[in-house]
Amino acid sequence: MLTLGLASPAVAQIYSWRDADGKLVLSDQPRLDRGAMNTYAVAGASSVRATKPLVPSLKSARYDASINEHSRRMGVSADLVRAVIQVESAFNPSALSTKGAMGLMQLMPATAMELGVNNPFEPDQNIRGGVAYLKRLLVRYDHKVELALAAYNAGMGNVEKYGAVPPFKETQAYVKTITGAAPSATRAPSRIIYKWMELVAGKPVTRYSNKAPATGAYEVVSSRLRP
């Protein structure tokens, strides 16, 4: 949420429009892509609270197809993935951290290799790997989004050491920023069904379960969230 604070309760301009997902956006700043929007004069603006767009649409739009496809396949909230990318790299596919994390979702070399990401700076590969890793953490922590995000930022060892979001300012701010930008993602799933293929007597057999297989590729074919 973005709180609008002005020096005086005088009239201020509030802008509204629909984003790419059809969600209503309210902001004290006009949209960056100069698309259609409405504007309102609001008195006493110091008490107005307005939503802030998750990311400028011009930055994220080029990656929406990959985000939506890999999020759907893995049963992860697309809004959560967008929020992670915004915080990790600000949608810069060439981002490289001082610790060696690479690309949009800032994959470490060992993680990228394990996930089969040959070129971490190629956006679709990076998103595929990042979503798969985020899904792994969500499953590990029983879909507790805050713990999965903390592990993404600070490592699983620190989450398990403290049994909660570690008491690191960076990690706590990281979790708060992302969950604030994608609040619907914090709702735990009531049912997830996984689908994968196994070889039985040399023949492929389709398997379904409410638990992901221990190894190998799988697809989420049903995912519902608690209201």
DSSP 77-145: -HHHHHHHHHHHHTT-TT-B-TT--BTTTTB-HHHHHHTT-S-TTSHHHHHHHHHHHHHHHHHHTTT-H
Same domain, 197 and 153: no
What integer pLDDT is reported at residue 135 of this predicted model?
Answer: 94
Tens digit of pLDDT for each residue in 113-132?
999 999 999 999 999 999 99
**The pLDDT of residue 199:** 84
110-114, 136-140, 213-217: least confidently modelled range: 213-217
33 and 76 in a single domain? The answer is: no
Phi-psi region of 106 (alpha: psi -120 to 50; beta: other; left: phi over 0): left
Q: Which of 69, 88, 160, 219 is catalytic?
A: 88
Q: Is the pLDDT of residue 41 over 80?
A: no
Query: Do both 47 and 145 map to the same domain?
Result: no
User: Is there a single domain that holds both residue 181 and residue 195?
Assistant: no
Q: Are residues 181 and 200 in the same domain?
A: no
Clarify whether residues 180 and 91 are in a common domain. yes
Do 6 and 89 lie in one domain? The reply is no
Q: What is the pLDDT of residues 156-185, one digit of tens each?
A: 999 999 999 999 999 999 999 999 888 777
Question: Which one is predicted more confidently, 58 or 196?
Answer: 196
pLDDT of residue 138: 94
Q: How far is CA 118 from the centre of its chain?
A: 22
pLDDT at 209: 80
pLDDT at 200 (0 to 100): 85
Same domain, 133 and 205: no
Q: What's the pLDDT at 116? A: 95
Same-domain check for residues 39 and 125: no
The yes-or-no verdict on residue 69 having pLDDT over 80 is yes
Number of domains composing the chain: 3
Check whether residue 67 and residue 96 sit in a common domain. Answer: yes
The C-alpha atoms of residue 83 and residue 79 are separated, in whole angstroms, by 6
Same domain for 172 and 102, yes or no, is yes
Q: Say what percent of the chain tops pLDDT 70.
A: 68
Residue 175, number of CB atoms within 10 A of its CB? 22
Q: Is 88 a catalytic residue?
A: yes
pLDDT greater at residue 149 or residue 59: 149
Q: What is the extent of the structural domain holding 217?
A: 189-225
Q: Is pLDDT at 55 greater than 90 in this prediction?
A: no
User: What average pLDDT does the structure give for the chain?
Assistant: 79
How far apart (Å, rounded) are the C-alpha atoms in residues 141 and 46?
40
Distance set, CA 161 to CA 111, 137, 155, 170 (Å): 21, 15, 10, 17
User: Does 208 lie in the same domain as 137?
Assistant: no
pLDDT of residue 29: 65
10: three-class secondary structure by DSSP: coil
Determine the average pLDDT of the residues in 41-48. Answer: 52
Percent of the chain with pLDDT over 90: 48
Distance CA 83, CA 182 (A): 7
Quick check: 68 pLDDT over 80?
A: yes
Q: What is the mean pLDDT of residues 183-208?
A: 75
**CATH number of the domain bearing residue 115:** 1.10.530.10
